[in-house]
Amino acid sequence: MKTEAETRKELIYKRLQTAGWDVKNLAQVAQEFIQGKLTYH
């Protein structure tokens, strides 16, 4: 079973890049870890 991070890299990030997003640009794609939980903004 893949982790959430692996799935994100393999599926979601590839789709964002195809759509023209720069997944390394935190102004476009942000992740936060708060008390062990992952939240998106």
Rounded to two decimals, what is the model's pTM? 0.55
Cα separation of 6 and 27, whole Å? 22
Residue 2 confidence class, pLDDT cut points 50, 70, 90: confident
Q: Residue 40 — φ and ψ, nearest 5°? A: -115, 150
- Contact predicate 36/29, CB 8 Å: no
Cα separation of 24 and 31, whole Å? 11
Give me the mean pLDDT over the 2-20 stretch: 87
Cα separation of 4 and 10, whole Å? 10
Structure confidence by residue, pLDDT tens digits, 23-40 = 888 777 766 555 555 555
Query: What residues pair up with 38 in beta bridges, in sequence order?
Result: 33
Q: What was the pLDDT predicted at 24?
A: 84
